[in-house]
Amino acid sequence: MKLLQILFLILAVLIQLQVVNASETSETAQINTVIYAGEALLVPGQLPKKAVIITIADGRILKTQSNQPKPVPSGLDTNNVPAFIDLSCCFVMPGFIDVQTHLQSGPGSPPWHVRMTELTDADFTLKVMINARNTLQAGFTSIRDMGHSGRSVFSVHDAIEKGRIEGPRMQVAGEVIRPTGGELRSWLRPEIEPLYQVSAVCDGPYDCKRAVRAQAAQGATTIKVVTKQDLGPHSTSQFDLMELIAIREAGHDLGLKVTASAFSTPSINLPLKAGFDGVVHGTYVDDETLKLFHNKDAIYIPTLLAARVVREMAENAALSVSDAWRKENMAIYHGMVGSFRRALKAGVKIAFGTDAGWRPHGGNAEQMVQMVELGMSPGEVLNSATLTAAAAMGWDDKVGSLIAGKFADIVATRISPLDDINTVMSPVFVMKNGKTIRQEIPQ
């Protein structure tokens, strides 16, 4: 009996110490910034709050208070606040997230074989730095780079993490996982190609586990797998089920999300059956696809903006291309739009991903407008580009909403996107990790 009393006493002391430590942490946190927002969407999916004070300490949200009078900077009851930002004119929301980008790419990029044989890592690094900065300036405070060659994106990612250059918080996939002779060949002679990407090419379950581990060893923080064989609706998956299960197991063992790049229905459904976390593009879904998304709790990432560009190219009479090429690309556009609408109606989780590089980096928000045009409500679009996108990255405990403990990643517009979604294309304030990146509101 005495032993039990002693154990209860020890437990009570430990709980009290935890409460004291938590209180001390809150009281001693260095408050860097106080923001006053006229209106704020603190948690996408919930109603926005009026007259909100957001207190930021050490790059994270310390607390939020709604229905508050506008504070006078000199009278703020805080620990020596160095910055007061008045956004009383604006609508404030979490930083946007794009989970499907390619920072090495962009309109006017040279053909793949030229990029592989003539451009250096230094060339790519400069391009990636510029694209990353433009993306952040547009309000996208977190992104995934979903496939690149060489070290450039890894290097830029590391420099951003260390605060040496400006750019969004990033996950990077490295080389995409694909089989020998697969869809994403580099258009090089076969004896030359392995010199560039041998670590990402795999065949069979054990070799595919090696490929995942190899990408992680090079710095990959997420895994992308190309399952599509071509751009048509019916082709089978490049990998078989056992290979895909092995890839998923290897990725999850390393704590990494695993995403498939898929167009045809079989190439979408098979990775979902294998337990993948999500599918990007997803051009041609069917009823089974929608059930799999629900049953596997997977996330759909339709790249609608890229599909729009493809449609524009197909409609451009000045391009010297075949009628078959135009027909295939129009089919891709209509297939993805139809699949998006079906998934939306079925209640599938949809995360925001643009395949940025088809349009200039920094123009990512155009897809938010497009999604509303295709039937999503503005509130659903904001949720897709914040909370759902954060979940797709496994970062829903870090970003995606403005609640205590999360990074102070903030975007503001003059007009509420809930009233006019077009306003997301022209943010007037951007903050990442508590640091002001863009400010067009006079203080």
Q: How far apart are CA 410 and CA 400, in angstroms?
A: 10
Give the residue, 204 or 30, on which the prediction is more confident. Answer: 204
The pLDDT assigned to 71 comes to: 83
Of 1-10, 189-198, 308-317, 418-427, the one with minimum mean pLDDT is 1-10
In a shared domain, residues 48 and 147: no
Residue-wise pLDDT for 113-161, tens only, equals 777 778 888 999 999 999 999 999 999 999 999 998 889 999 999 999 9
More confident residue, 325 or 13: 325
- Residue 6 has what pLDDT? 45
Q: What is the pLDDT of residue 21?
A: 42
Are 84 and 137 contained in the same domain? Answer: no
Identify which has the larger pLDDT, 230 or 67: 67
Q: Does the pLDDT at position 14 exceed 80?
A: no
Report pLDDT for 150: 86
**Alpha-carbon gap, residue 34 to 81, rounded angstroms:** 7
> pLDDT category, 91, cuts 50, 70, 90?
very high
Confidence (pLDDT) at 427:
98
Same domain, 119 and 236: yes
Do 237 and 249 lie in a common domain? yes
pLDDT value of position 12: 45
Whether residue 333 sits in one domain with residue 416: no
Does residue 352 or residue 188 have the better pLDDT? 352
**For residue 245, what is the domain's CATH number?**
3.20.20.140
pLDDT exceeds 90 at position 395: yes
- Give the C-alpha separation, 218 to 115, whole Å: 20
3 occurs within a structural domain: no
C-alpha distances in Å from residue 264, one per residue of 55, 102, 115, 161, 281? 47, 22, 28, 37, 10
Banded model confidence at residue 15, pLDDT cuts 50, 70, 90: very low
Q: Are residues 90 and 101 in the same domain?
A: no
252: CB partners within 8 A, 6+ apart = 258
Is 293 within a domain? yes
- Per-residue confidence (pLDDT) for residue 144, from 0 to 100: 99
Overall domain count for the chain: 2
Per the structure, the complete domain to which residue 103 belongs is given by 96-393
Tokens of 54: 């957001």
Who wins on pLDDT, 269 or 12? 269
Q: In the predicted model, is pLDDT for residue 233 greater than 60?
A: yes
Digit-coded pLDDT (tens) for 155-211: 999 999 999 999 999 999 999 999 988 765 556 676 776 666 568 899 999 999 999
Give the Cα separation of 136 and 141 in Å (integer): 5
439 pLDDT tier (thresholds 50, 70, 90): very high
For residues 360 and 409, membership in a common domain is answered with no
Mean pLDDT of the chain: 90
Nearest CA-CA partner of 230 in 332, 364, 111, 101: 332
pLDDT at residue 199 in the model:
80
> Given this model, what pLDDT does residue 319 score?
87
Q: Do 336 and 234 share a structural domain?
A: yes
Rounded distance, CA 408 to CA 403, Å? Answer: 9
pLDDT at position 73 = 63
Distance CA 94, CA 386 (A): 7
Q: Kindly indicate the confidence band of residue 415, based on its pLDDT and cuts at 50, 70 and 90.
A: very high
Write the CA distances from 317 to 194, 305, 322, 417, integer angstroms. 38, 20, 11, 35
Q: Is the pLDDT of residue 9 over 70?
A: no
Mean pLDDT score, 398-424:
99
Contacts of range 369-373, beta carbons closer than 8 Å, 24 or more positions apart: 369/421, 369/422, 369/424, 369/425, 370/304, 370/305, 370/308, 371/304, 371/340, 372/421
> Per-residue pLDDT for 320 more than 90?
no
SS3 track for the chain? CHHHHHHHHHHHHHHHHHHHHHHHHHHHCCEEEEEEEEEECCCECECCEEEEEEEEECCEEEEEECCCCCCCHHHCCCCCCCEEEEEEEEEEEECEEEEEECCCCCCCCCCHHHHHHCCCHHHHHHHHHHHHHHHHHCCEEEEEECCCCCCHHHHHHHHHHCCCCCCCEEEECCCCEECCCCCCCCCCCCCCCHHHHHHHECCCHHHHHHHHHHHHHHCCCCEEEECCCCCCCCCCCCCCHHHHHHHHHHHHHCCCCEEEEECCHHHHHHHHHCCCCEEEECCCCCHHHHHHHHHCCCEEECCHHHHHHHHHHHHCCCCCCCHHHHHHHHHHHHHHHHHHHHHHHHCCCECCCCCECCCCCCCCCHHHHHHHHCCCCHHHHHHHHHHHHHHHHCCCCCCCCCCCCCECCEEEECCCCCCCHHHHHCCCEEEECCEEEEECCCC
pTM attached to this predicted model:
0.91
CA dist 110 and 108 (Å) reads 6
pLDDT of the residue at 230: 84
**Smallest Cα–Cα separation from 281: which of 343, 204, 198?**
343
Question: How high is the pLDDT of residue 118?
Answer: 80
Residues 330 and 352 in one domain: yes
pLDDT at 8: 45
Examine the domain organization and report whether 44 and 83 are in the same domain. yes
Which pLDDT band, with edges at 50, 70 and 90, does 65 fall under? very high
Asked if 44 and 132 sit in the same domain, the reply is no
Q: What CATH number should be reported for the domain holding residue 55?
A: 2.30.40.10
Name the band, by pLDDT with cuts 50, 70 and 90, for residue 7. Answer: very low
Q: Does any domain span residue 192?
A: yes
Contact 94, 410 (CB under 8 A): yes
Q: Same domain, yes or no, for 46 and 84?
A: yes
CA separation for the pair 338, 340 (Å, rounded): 5
pLDDT at 392: 99
